[in-house]
Chains A and B, each alone.
Chain A
Amino acid sequence: MRFLLLLLLLAGCSKGPQADLQYISEARSCAAEWALVNQEAAHGKLTDAYVETMRKALRQQIGTAKAALTVPESAYGREMAALLSTPGDASPRELRVHVDRLRQIEDSLESA
């Protein structure tokens, strides 16, 4: 029971890149989804209302993840900022460059 309480406490108080890991993966996933939406939209498979709503919501999620970072001045913080300044209709390839970078950071933090 004490061990569990300690774990809960640590989960709530941690700081640094390890604590940011969940926000990094959230942003990476949103960017990947944004790329997928743009890819399918380019093939004419989605409606305008759906595409706009998804882009707006995904951008908002990335913004929320960035705001929650404990180390905003970091490589991943800059990647998120770059994503937020990307236009909504950016090419899937451009978005996936950011996805790959965030994935690399995520993988290196997970294996650390």
Chain B
Amino acid sequence: MNPLELTLGIMTAVGGFVDISELVFAAKAGSKFGYALIWVFAIATVGIMVFGEMSGRVAAVAKQPVFNLMRHRLGLKLGLVTLLASLIANLITCAAEVGGVAMILTYLTGAPFRLMAIVGAVVLMASMWVLPFTWIERIYGLLGLCMLAFAAALVAIHPPWQSIAGGFVPQIPAGLSTKELLIFAYFAVAIVSAVMFPYEAYFYSSGGIEEEWGPKDLPMNRITCTVGFGLGSLLSISILASSAQLFTPVNVDPQLLGSSALEVAIPFGTIGLLIALAGMLFAISGAAIETCMANAYSVSQFFGWKWGRHRKPWEAPRFTVAWVSFFTVALLIILTGIDPMQLVEYAVLFSILVLPLTYLPLLLLAGDKSYMGNYANGPFGKTLGWFYFILITLAAIGALPLFFLTSGGQG
């Protein structure tokens, strides 16, 4: 295991962990319920560690990306339904991320939103065209490390650490009305969805195949998933805790993406604001690329086309047309004038509905000795996997009613 590769892998995972949904829901969750939802972030993070590790292991051992497995395991009809559902979920997520990039460019420059959406999308598509997979992953992941400013800001505002630590204990705050309880449940479901977005598994496992992982890479896969995702999740928790500390006392329930940047500007001033916006820009840009690529990977793998960013764009033409088309449609969605924050709500909702179908075939294959041999899930991995599968299934069942009953968490 090359220590430099390992460090880069972990840093990339940290910088690339947070996306627009986590930024939005962490800030809102903190202002609405204080530290009481930290445990949901912690539990969901262990979930993405479990399934991320599994998808990387399957890619390294069985050399199978997630959508290949899905068609084999679910059959053509159910596989096709899953493909369509996940394409829609990822496309909405991608549009929300493109909108997020445009919003941050607007905060930085003051230029019109639509113009910034076009500029942002063109720059991202150019970088996807020119850069090889590893560089795409690393550039956006490493520059996303500017998000560490949120952790530094939390330390600087001297929060009540004991209360934050208490937030890691599963709890439902006492004295909530029925309406508040429903909103609390909606936020819990939304956080699970935002942390365990299905595109993360598609992108991660396809990336493993792009980078030609083998069994020798399994320790790196495990450490990257646990340490990288774990540290990345601490950034989301920092945003939540700063929001509870700074916004709740002044009646602010953050409505905008730019609200989160205030958490860093308050202790560190203009420099802090610019670093926070830069971190958000690169983290969200990385997520926009990942969601778009995840869709292109899914379609190509499902229909057996040539795919991968290790090939020149013209060597995998249908794959190239797929990612260019998905990105263009995402941009067009944003140019219609739809509010990106509204799209975030829809992305989270659609994604949670797709999650069980995404993770079930992965769970079955990672436990199948005929494919995985000695690298199949052990009893601990199986137990964790099934626990999370039940959890996301329950979240998926509750998502729609909670969304309507709480008007998307607004009350």
Contacts and interface: CB of A to CB of B under 8 A. Distances in A.
A67 to B, nearest CB: 14
Nearest to A41: B265
Given A26-B410, A44-B270, A45-B265, A33 B107 contact: no
Contacts of A12: 404
Given A26-B410, A35-B250, A49-B110, A8 B405 contact: yes
Contacts of B110: 48-49, 52-53
Interface in B244-271: 247, 250-256, 258-259, 261-262, 265-266, 269-270
Tell me the interface secondary structure of chain B in the complex.
Answer: helix
Contact of A8 (B251, B256, B272, B401): B401
A46 B270 contact: yes
Contacts of B251: 28-29, 32, 99, 103
Nearest to A33: B252
A29 B409 CA distance: 14
Interface residues of A, number: 35
Contact of B107 (A21, A43, A50): A50
Nearest to A5: B401
Contacts of B259: 33
B273 A33 contact: no
A91 B282 CA distance: 34
B151 interface: no
B269 A25 contact: no
A29 to B, nearest CB: 4
Given A45-B270, A49-B109, A54-B107, A36 B262 contact: yes
A43 B273 CA distance: 13
Nearest to A54: B258
Contacts of B273: 45-47, 50
A25 B272 CA distance: 29
A82 interface: no
B411 interface: yes
Given A25-B253, A36-B252, A49-B107, A7 B405 contact: yes
Contacts of B272: 45
A110 to B, nearest CB: 8
Nearest to B264: A45
A70 interface: no
B401 A4 contact: yes
A97 B250 CA distance: 12
Contacts of B410: 22, 25-26
B156 to A, nearest CB: 13
Interface residues of B, number: 32
A57 B401 contact: no
A30 interface: yes
Given A21-B411, A99-B251, A58 B256 contact: yes
Interface in A32-84: 32-33, 35-37, 40, 43-50, 52-54, 57-58, 61
Given A22-B411, A37-B262, A29 B255 contact: yes
Given A21-B411, A50-B107, A40 B404 contact: no
A8 B406 CA distance: 10
Pick from A47, A61, A99 the residue with the most CB of B within 10 Å: A47
A112 interface: no
B149 to A, nearest CB: 14
A46 B277 CA distance: 12
A52 B106 CA distance: 10
Interface in B142-193: 177
A38 to B, nearest CB: 12
B255 A61 contact: yes
B119 interface: no
A19 B274 CA distance: 39
Interface string A80-104: 0000000000000000000100010
A89 B261 CA distance: 20
Contacts of B256: 33, 54, 57-58, 61
A26 B251 CA distance: 10
Nearest to B404: A8
Given A29-B252, A61-B256, 12 more contacts: A7-B401, A11-B405, A12-B404, A25-B253, A29-B254, A36-B262, A46-B273, A47-B273, A48-B110, A49-B109, A53-B107, A103-B251
18 contacts: A4-B401, A7-B401, A21-B411, A30-B255, A32-B250, A33-B252, A33-B259, A36-B252, A36-B262, A45-B265, A47-B273, A47-B274, A50-B107, A50-B277, A53-B106, A53-B107, A53-B258, A57-B258
Interface of B: 106-110, 177, 247, 250-256, 258-259, 261-262, 265-266, 269-270, 272-274, 277, 401, 404-405, 407, 410-411
